[in-house]
Structure 1
Amino acid sequence: MVIATKYALSPIKQDVKKGKFPYLANLFPYKGCIWNYGAIPQTWEDPGHSDKHTGCCGDNNPIDVCETGSKVCTRAEIIRVNILGLLVMIDKGETDRKVIAINVDGPDAANYNDINDVKWLKPSYLVATVDWFRRYKFPDGKQI
């Protein structure tokens, strides 16, 4: 599912790439995404602005969110989150930010106040997140 920014009011719709539904292969040792993955509505990675840290322009998409809680969200579910940190990557020569967040209504929300709580309560989780983003496109023959 994606936020369809080319349509009026930017609805959430099924993503289609080259006439096919995108497939996310299981990537050992992970099985699918290791977090609830989504985006922040009404945000935008500006393709005309060069980020001073990456030296690249934005990817022309809403800002992505990796929600780290233990509650699995349903597809296209809208939730409120607390922002804990930010992962900034370069993907195909474009700046691609990933907000690390926690669902404020999730069972563990009270334990997380910032990115250091993620490091303490979920050791290696952030390392696994970076590793997952480095490798998830390989089964399709793509590189990040």
Structure 2
Amino acid sequence: MYQTEERGGEHTGTYRLYLSNAQGKFLSPFHDIPLYAGETQDVFNMVVEVPRWTNAKMEIATKEPLNPIKQDVKKGKMRFVANVFPHKGYIWNYGALPQTWEDPAHTDESTGCGGDNDPIDVCEIGTKVCSRGEVIQVKVLGALALIDEGETDWKIIAINIEDPEANNFNDIDDVRRLKPGYLEASVDWFKRYKVPDGKPENKFAFNSEFKDKDFAIRVIKSTHAFWNALVTKKHSTGEINCTNTTVSSSPFLCSETDAKAIVEAVPVFAVGDSVPVNVDKWWYGKKN
């Protein structure tokens, strides 16, 4: 249904991954892919940014036209997450729900903090290791509220509807029962993944407890409403780039020709930099 096109050099500041539809029309994974994968509104589209067990911190570029996937940069270097023992890279397929936005100006009534100015994050727990830029359909199971430097950063727990065990997972308690230790490992990962960079452990709302499916879906619906206000210019966009090719009610709608020109302005894909040798090392640290 969706295709990807890589541009620039991998693991360099020029790397960008653009998405297009089946007809080859470029689009924004932030604004143009529908949140809901069907009319029932119980299955959601997810854009995979980071395949499970990989380390490159890839993310939707919210401040760039068409919002391609790029690698995060920290202190002038391409960012890779450390393998915090016993974890190897990201322990889920990690990505975002399109057409959602965590509004930094909105104080969440349950966490007391504003949003992190990004699409809402998803941890997909199925069997398949997905590909960067892949769009999959997931059902939501629950949510974890990470408080990242004073901002609410929701982590939605979901499973690919095509997973062979998907029918067995319908709420967060099913994850606890059928994948014992996985939720605890997820909290541990988010708590400590920045520690190797010299930062303190992350904090969580609700005493690190996961909220259930119904709560998670309410959060998703509220962030969808915030996104709608953003893309229709009923809310200040700030640094967010709302260029899109399908949202007819949006003043940021651009033509197919303009979208193609945006992509072609980026250098063609080429062999980039090699992955640093220390990426495969394990980082050992005491749990607090």
Specify the alignment match of 1:21 in structure 2: 78
CA shift digits 1:48-98 (9 cap, x unpaired): 000112111001111000001111111221111100001111110100000
- Flag the structure with larger Rg: 2
Q: Are the aligned partners of 2:71 and 2:79 in contact in 1 as well (CA < 8 Å)?
A: no
| Paired AA for residue 130 in structure 2 | C
Q: Are the aligned partners of 1:71 and 1:107 in contact in 2 as well (CA < 8 Å)?
A: no
Instruction: Provide TM-score, normalisation by structure 1.
Output: 0.94
Q: Are the aligned partners of 1:43 and 1:62 in contact in 2 as well (CA < 8 Å)?
A: yes
Pairing partner for 1:110 from 167, 171, 174: 167
Residues 62-73 of structure 1 correspond to what in structure 2 (within 5 A)?
Answer: 62-73=119-130
Specify the alignment match of 2:241 in structure 1: none
Distance in 2 separating the partners of 1:129 and 1:42: 25
| Paired AA for residue 117 in structure 2 | N
Specify the alignment match of 1:91 in structure 2: 148
Q: Which runs of 4+ in 1 moved over 6 A?
A: none
CA shift digits 1:95-115 (9 cap, x unpaired): 000000001112221211111
Q: Are the aligned partners of 1:88 and 1:98 in contact in 2 as well (CA < 8 Å)?
A: yes
Specify the alignment match of 1:39 in structure 2: 96
Distance in 2 separating the partners of 1:29 and 1:8: 38
CA RMSD in angstroms comes to 1.2
Pairing partner for 1:8 from 65, 70, 75: 65
* Larger RCO (CA within 8 A; separation ≥ 6): 2
Distance in 2 separating the partners of 1:72 and 1:129: 17
Distance in 2 separating the partners of 1:20 and 1:76: 22
SS at match of 1:65: strand
Q: Are the aligned partners of 1:67 and 1:102 in contact in 2 as well (CA < 8 Å)?
A: yes
CA shift digits 1:14-71 (9 cap, x unpaired): 3333332111111101111111111111211100000112111001111000001111
CA shift digits 1:115-141 (9 cap, x unpaired): 111011011211111111001101111
Q: Are the aligned partners of 1:88 and 1:97 in contact in 2 as well (CA < 8 Å)?
A: yes
